[in-house]
């Protein structure tokens, strides 16, 4: 093992210690009062988040979407994304979840209270896919 490989191994996070990227409420319909004023800032934030997400995916670190359910309690993640994309929506288009990303639907106003966020941020991603679909509120994203 060369010195660069040893240095990389020494500085790489262990599976339980690796970072996770939380993307909060960026799948959005922008259909509320005052949304037009927020969209330019949201678009700039989306560009920065997209670059950061690319870095996380390159390292195989978890990307976790935590999002409102738009008042639709029985929604699936792909349905929320589709609803947000019903109109021209560059923010959601830029940040739509990919295969292997996690999507947590918040039951109320917080992604940290009464959700499976702790499981998403501590679980080891040995296999992406249906095996992760063990809990109704913590699901990998699959496109339909």
Domains of the chain: 19-140 (3.40.50.850)
Quick one: how far is CA 88 from the chain centroid?
21
Rounded Cα distance between 64 and 97, Å, is 9
Residue with tokens 């929604």: 75
Q: What confidence score (pLDDT) does residue 36 get?
A: 92
Q: Are 139 and 133 within 8 A, CB to CB?
A: yes
What is the pLDDT, as a whole number, of residue 133? Answer: 39
pLDDT under 70 in the chain at which residues? 1-17, 73-74, 107-144
Of 62, 84, 70, nearest to 140 by C-alpha is 62
pTM of the predicted model as reported, rounded to 2 decimal places: 0.68
- Predicted pLDDT of residue 96: 94
pLDDT at 110: 57
The length of the chain in residues reads: 144
How much is the pLDDT for 118? 54
pLDDT of residue 106: 78
């Amino acid at each position: 093992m060369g010195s660069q490989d040893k240095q990389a191994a020494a500085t790489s996070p262990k599976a339980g210690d690796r970072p996770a990227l939380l993307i909060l409420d960026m799948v959005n319909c922008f259909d509320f009062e005052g949304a037009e004023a927020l969209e330019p800032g949201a678009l700039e934030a989306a560009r920065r988040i997209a670059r950061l997400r690319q870095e996380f995916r390159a390292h195989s670190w978890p990307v976790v979407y935590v999002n409102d359910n738009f008042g639709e309690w029985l929604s699936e993640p792909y349905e929320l994304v589709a609803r947000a994309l019903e109109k021209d929506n560059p923010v959601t288009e830029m940040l739509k979840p990919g295969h292997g990303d996690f999507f947590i639907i918040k039951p109320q106003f917080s992604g940290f209270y009464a959700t499976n966020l702790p499981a998403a941020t501590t679980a080891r991603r040995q296999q992406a896919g249906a095996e992760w679909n063990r809990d109704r509120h913590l699901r990998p994203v699959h496109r339909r």
